[in-house]
Homo-oligomer: A and B are copies of this chain.
Amino acid sequence: MRVVLLSGGTGGAKLAHGFQQVLPAGALDVIVNVGDDLELFGLHVSPDLDSVLYTLAGLVDPVRGWGVAGDTDRALTMLERYGEETWFWIGDADLGTLVRRTAQLHRGASLTQVTADMAAALGIPSHILPPTDDRLRTRVLTDDGDLEFQRYFVERGQRDEVRGISFEGAAEARPTAAVLEALRNAELVVIGPSNPIVSIEPTLATPGLREAVATASGRKIGVSPIVAGRALKGPTDRMLASLGHEVSALGVARLYSGLLDQYVLDEADADLAPGVAGLGMQPLVAQTVMKTDADRAALARFLIDAASG
């Protein structure tokens, strides 16, 4: 079965790892949010691409869920001494990734090519795809102004009330041929348990991609990032509330109504199944909290079985 997973950096990366465990090599395409990308010290940083890359390569720091396990920060310490802003933590091994990506982009490679080369170099049997090779950046409107996503997320520690979200460059961005082909060929399209507003929406906002998902012939299933009214990680719950959405798995399901065939609720939210059905999606209930590699594989198998049923 060919599977496409739309993913952000943490929950989505774990589910990608689950699929990679149970699918044959090459059968998984992960379309990863690039709205969080930023430039630091002249280097192109793609936090979500890197989280997926490190997770699928078995290099990720298991506690943080991002960065390389055991990484050090000698370079960052020097950069700080020289007066660079260091609110965004970059480990030394991670810096190798940023330097390589930036060098390859300057040499004329696309982000798609660079990412594919890196994945191959790290022995990853799955395809990791940015939705677009063009610049697309999530901006967060707060009472202190319109912020670059990582300024809101990392530098200011998600403390601002979110008044609005916009995607700079989205109108001009073009989806890549690789992403369109992956969606066309997919027998299963999964929207992972990622923040719907800032991890999934930037991808769907890429012109043509929402339609490509909606019209994909494969089964389309979403997995709730909200369990028992709370996000497992990150500011999804507060962001939903700030923007006037219901803070529940159902509130997230509503954002995907008309796009998906089935929607997976955590066992803790089984009572929301009728609400999901009311949105025109078949509700499914599973253990969605992925604490172990086996949890990840089990959720992936559950989704494959659901799509086959």
**Contact residue among B41, B68, B74, B117 (Cβ-Cβ distance under 8 Å from A72):** B74
Known pairs A72-B72, A95-B95; A42 contacts B78 (CB<8 A): no
| Proximity bits, A70-91, B CB within 8 Å = 1, else 0 | 0110111111011110000001
| Proximity bits, A95-133, B CB within 8 Å = 1, else 0 | 111011011001100000000011001100000000000
Shortest C-beta distance, A234 to chain B (Å), equals 26
Residues of B with C-beta under 8 A to A93: 74-75, 77-78
**Contact residue among B72, B84, B96, B103 (Cβ-Cβ distance under 8 Å from A42):** B103
Q: List 19 A-B contacts (CB under 8 A).
A: A41-B102, A42-B102, A42-B103, A68-B74, A68-B78, A71-B74, A72-B72, A72-B92, A74-B93, A75-B95, A75-B96, A79-B96, A81-B121, A82-B97, A82-B117, A82-B118, A83-B117, A83-B121, A84-B100
Supplied contacts A75-B99, A78-B97, A82-B97, 8 more A-B pairs, CB within 8 Å: A42-B103, A71-B74, A74-B91, A74-B96, A78-B96, A79-B96, A82-B96, A99-B99
